[in-house]
Structures are given as structure tokens and as C-alpha cells.
Amino acid sequence: MLRQVQVERDILAKNDAFAAANRLRFEQDGVLALNLVSSPGSGKTSLLVRTIAALQGSVPLAVIEGDQQTSLDAERIRETGARAEQINTGKGCHLDALRVQQALDELAPAPASLLFIENVGNLVCPAGFDLGEAAKVVILSVTEGEDKPLKYPDMFRAARLMLLNKCDLLPHLRFDVAQVIANARRVNPDIAVLQVSAETGEGMDAWLDWLHGELASAVSRREESVTALKKRVAELETQLLSLRASLAE
Ligand code: MG
Ligand code: ZN
């Protein structure tokens, strides 16, 4: 038992190191990486397809698709014209930062672009595996239970935003929107919530606004670090000049 705990710790520590490298790469390039997590069947891929269509090429973007088997989801994404890389995890039930790093080498996301990482449908261990993303976005469909945030608190605590999907079905269901939001905020008081439908497009404008806002801050953080680096280079050049002058004396 103790030995198993140690092995799990080692795995997570290694993952965190790869995640830190991914995060640095995203920050340097001004890439907004979002880790999309949910149960199977919440409509993640449909929502992504709809999102890519709505962005109408206004933002450069790429997609990493995680599934245990098949490249069906990556093919659906590629049909939109977007670049997508499939990762098959086999028996694994989550993406890890090393596999994401390998996919990044293939995809080479453009500077100031969006990167959607669709994780394996699973609300448990993807909460513990950092991929280097700027934020986790948890998708919960209204065909699931209002109690999901209470049953899987780690995931809802780790997420910055909850997208309540399939809202077009609400008139046909007994689903209490206020209750699910209250449950999500009980485990994470800061979580943002948007109601959307990949089917009808309801709520897509607010989701696109959120994406544009997050991308703008990723780009400005990159500009700040470029400015800071330029300033440091200028300082070093000045020091070098005075050093040369003193040597010539
Ligand atoms: Mg999918
Ligand atoms: Zn797993």
C-alpha cells in the first residue's frame, strides 16, 4: 500500500515537471491552452466543433484530442479545417503532460493562438494531472445529475469555468440549474458558469467573449515578458559597453 502511494507520487512529480515545461512554452508564445474535462458524453467534441465554426478563423487555433482508442474526434475537428492531433491513451484514463508535449512538437501552435486540449472523458484523475494549461474548463451536460460537482469535487475545484451544455434540452428534463450552480460554488466559490448549447448555439456569444478575454490576457502577459527581457538585454549591453571602455583605458 505504502509502496503504491510512493509510485503514484513519483508519477505525479514527473508529470508536474513536464507540465511546467509546457506552461513556460505556452507563456513564451502567448498560447492560451485550455484543458477541457468532463464525463463521457457531455458533448465536448460537438461544442468544440461549434466553437471553431463560430470563431470563423478570427483566431489561429489547434486542438489536441485525447481518447483511449480511435481518432474519430480528431477527424471531426479536422473536418472544420482546424489542425488536430489525436492522442490515444490505450488503457490510460487521462492525458499526461509528456504526451501533450509530444503532440505540441507535431502541432507547433502559432504565437498568440488558442489551443484546446480535449481530455479523456473522466471526472476523476484528469483533475490531478496538470498539462501546463492556463485553465481547466469543465463541461457538464444537463442530462447528468445536479450532484456531480459534489461527487467529483476535485475536478470542479480545479476548474476556472463550468460550461453547462445541452441547455436546449432543459424544457424536457427535471434539472435544477440553480441547484447545480450552487453545488459547483459550494466546492469552488470562484468558478464561472455559462449555459450553452452546442446544438442550437445558445450561449455561444458569452463563451466566445470569455475565450477572447482569456486570449487577450495571455497575449499581454507575453508582451510584458518580452518587454522585461528587452530591458534586461539593454542593461546588459550597457554594462558590456562600460566594461569594454574600462578595458581599453
Ligand atoms: Mg470527444
Ligand atoms: Zn486516469
Query: In this structure, what are the phi and psi dihedrals at residue 134, rounded to the nearest 5 degrees?
Result: -75, -35
How many CB atoms are located within 10 Å of the residue 175 CB?
18
**Angle, helices 2-29/204-248, rounded to nearest 10 degrees:** 80
Q: Kind of pairing, strands 61-67 and 135-141?
A: unpaired
The three grid cell numbers given for residue 58, joined into one nine-digit string: 478570427
What is the amino acid identity at position 48? L
Closest-approaching ligand to the CA atom of 39: 1
Rounded CA Rg of the chain = 21
> Separation of 126 CA from ligand 2 center, angstroms?
6
- Ligand 1 centroid to residue 85 C-alpha, Å: 13
Task: Specify the length of the chain in residues.
Answer: 249
pLDDT of residue 1: 65
pTM: 0.91
CA of 129 to the centre of ligand 2 (A): 8
What pLDDT is stored for residue 107 in this prediction? 96
Question: What is the whole-number distance in angstroms between the Cα of residue 246 and the centre of ligand 1?
Answer: 64
Cα–Cα distance for residue pair 193/139, rounded to 1 Å: 10
The range of the structural domain enclosing residue 31 comes to 2-248
- Residues 166-224 have pLDDT tens digits of 999 999 999 999 999 999 999 999 999 999 999 999 999 999 999 999 999 999 988 88
Distance 111 CA to ligand 2 centre (A): 30
Q: 98 exposed, middle or buried (CB, 10 Å; 0-12, 13-18, 19+)?
A: middle
Contact 111, 132 (CB under 8 A): no
Report pLDDT for 2: 75
CA distance 82 to 53: 10
Between the alpha carbon of residue 120 and those of residues 25, 123, 136, the distances in Å are 23, 9, 13
Q: Is 81 exposed, middle or buried (0-12, 13-18, 19+ CB in 10 A)?
A: exposed
Structure confidence at residue 221 (pLDDT): 87
What pLDDT is recorded for position 79? Answer: 97
- Between CA 118 and CA 85 the distance in angstroms is 10
Contact 140, 123 (CB under 8 A): no
Side chain identity at 64, as an amino acid letter?
A: I
Yes or no: say if 97 and 19 are a contact pair by the CB < 8 Å rule. Answer: yes
Q: How far does the centroid of ligand 1 lie from the alpha carbon of residue 28, in Å?
A: 29
In the chain (249 residues long), the average pLDDT of successive 10-residue segments reads 84 95 94 97 97 94 97 97 96 96 96 97 96 98 97 98 98 97 98 97 97 94 88 94 90
The domain tally of the chain equals 1
Residue 15 Cα to ligand 2 midpoint, Å, equals 13
- For residue 203, the domain's CATH number is 3.40.50.300
Strand ranges in 39-111 using DSSP code E only, listed in sequence order: 61-67, 83-88
**Where does 68-172 show beta strands of DSSP type E?**
83-88, 114-118, 135-141, 159-165
